[in-house]
Amino acid sequence: MTSAKSTNPWLILLGLALGVSISNAFGRFAYGLILPSMKSSLGWSLTQSGWLNTANSIGYIVGSILTLLLIRHVSPSRLFAGGTVATAFCLLATGFDESLVFQTVCRTLVGLFGALSFVSGGVLAASLFQSSARKNALAIALYFGGGGGFGIALCGASLPPMLDVFGPQSWDWAWIGLGITALVICPFSIWASAMLSETEHNAELPSIPPVRRMLGELSGYGLFGLGYIVYVTFISVWMKEQHSSVLLTTATWMILGFSIMVSPFVWRGVLARFAPGTPLALILSGVAFGSALPILVPNGVGLILSALVFGLSVFMPPTAVTSFVRQNVNQPDWGATVSFFTVVFAISQALGPIGAGIIGDITGEIGDSLVVASVVLLVGALFAAMQKPLRREAM
């Protein structure tokens, strides 16, 4: 097998990042774009709409736990490749049956396999550029933000016009198109993971993460999961309620995607410099502000600014956490520790969509849920700000 040393590591990183396009952009964010058409065509309530992303998050919980268990015995490269391919097939299947039960199964499996891909890919990205802290921080940030931003921009450019031209009943073809696109990407991502097949992973029982000493970072990351998913799930529904044009919807999501792609360069200095919870605290403040902007400035300018601010921040919390783990935990325990953080994140993320849907059904305004989510994110920023660096043994 070809060694990563003989291959351009940035090319390997590109392949890994495209896996995030599948696991997160297609698997999680695209639902927010397709949801208005599904809700209209299938007659769903806000609670039912939120439930499907909660189902996705439940799958993510299971996938995170599986990663935590499997990464002791299976290399991160195999977990990444298997999770990426399985996610692509589940996305494709989502377009073949409109029943809520079938949709629940598909969204759950997309979350499960997406977690296997996303978490293990983060471990692989963190293994690049070990001799340079700045390059390593940039690689981690580009993994989370680059591929995700590209995928979201692609969805934003294609899905709203397609659904507008062919009508809301064409939502099934949106999922089929995403599945086919994901399968086209898969070979490159599999190749990239194969180049890092010898990345260290702990075959024995990993050290138990020092939970009590990481409570600030853990709490901040958990509240991030609870808050950000509300915007991702319901912003397009809110825009439809405000009678936003297809052009504005497309522009908002494309700006969101491009902002995510740029975000690693905005935050790389902060991520490389600070070992405590400072990066996560600053990033969560940006996510909170971006979430509230559509309500604070309820017009096209507010939406564009919201997409810009939210996009510059939303993919960076996983980067901040992975960077925190890299700087504070021994390398053989990276996979288990990142998986532990992801389980906490996934549990809180599962509560966000259905909770927001219930609030929206009660008040009759989904915008109220966006405000609540913003407050939750600010509380998360306060917790993260209290996180101190861990004393670590020689790495």
Question: For residue 199, what pLDDT band results from cuts at 50, 70 and 90?
Answer: low
Q: Report the CATH number at residue 108.
A: 1.20.1250.20
What total of structural domains would you count in the chain? Answer: 1
Q: Does 29 map to a domain?
A: yes
Interval 90-125: pLDDT, tens: 999 999 999 999 999 999 999 999 999 998 998 898
Smallest Cα–Cα separation from 352: which of 52, 116, 21?
Answer: 52
45-76 pLDDT per residue, tens? 888 888 888 899 899 889 988 887 887 788 88
Asked if residue 23 is part of any domain, the answer here is: yes
Do residues 287 and 313 make contact, with C-beta atoms less than 8 angstroms apart?
yes
Q: What is the pLDDT of residue 395?
A: 38
27-38 average pLDDT score: 91
- Residue 194 inside a domain? The answer is yes
Structural domain boundaries enclosing 251: 9-201+209-385
Average pLDDT over residues 259-266: 88
**Percent of the chain having pLDDT more than 70?**
93
Whether 391 is covered by a domain: the verdict is no
Whole-Å CA distances, 305 to 225, 373, 374:
22, 18, 15
pLDDT score of 271: 76
What lies within 8 Å, CB to CB, of 352 at 6+ separation is: 53, 54, 57, 225, 226, 227, 228, 229, 230, 233, 373
Is 50 contained in some domain?
A: yes
- Tell me: pLDDT of 392 over 50: no
Any idea what the Cα angle at residue 64 is, between residues 60 and 66, rounded to 5°? 115
Q: What is the pLDDT of residues 270-301, one digit of tens each?
A: 877 776 888 999 999 999 999 999 989 988 89
For the stretch 352-370, pLDDT in tens is 888 888 888 888 888 888 8
Assign 394 a pLDDT band (cuts: 50, 70, 90). very low
The whole-number pLDDT of residue 116 equals 92
Structure tokens at 70: 């499997």
Q: Does residue 62 form part of some domain?
A: yes
Angle between helices 76-93 and 46-70 (to 10 degrees): 160
- What is the model's pTM? 0.82
Asked, for residue 180, whether it belongs to a domain, the answer is yes
The pLDDT of residue 369: 86
| Model confidence at 171: pLDDT above 90 | yes
pLDDT at 203 over 50: no
Residue 236 in domain:
yes
Q: Which of 89, 95, 92 is nearest to 37 (CA)?
A: 95
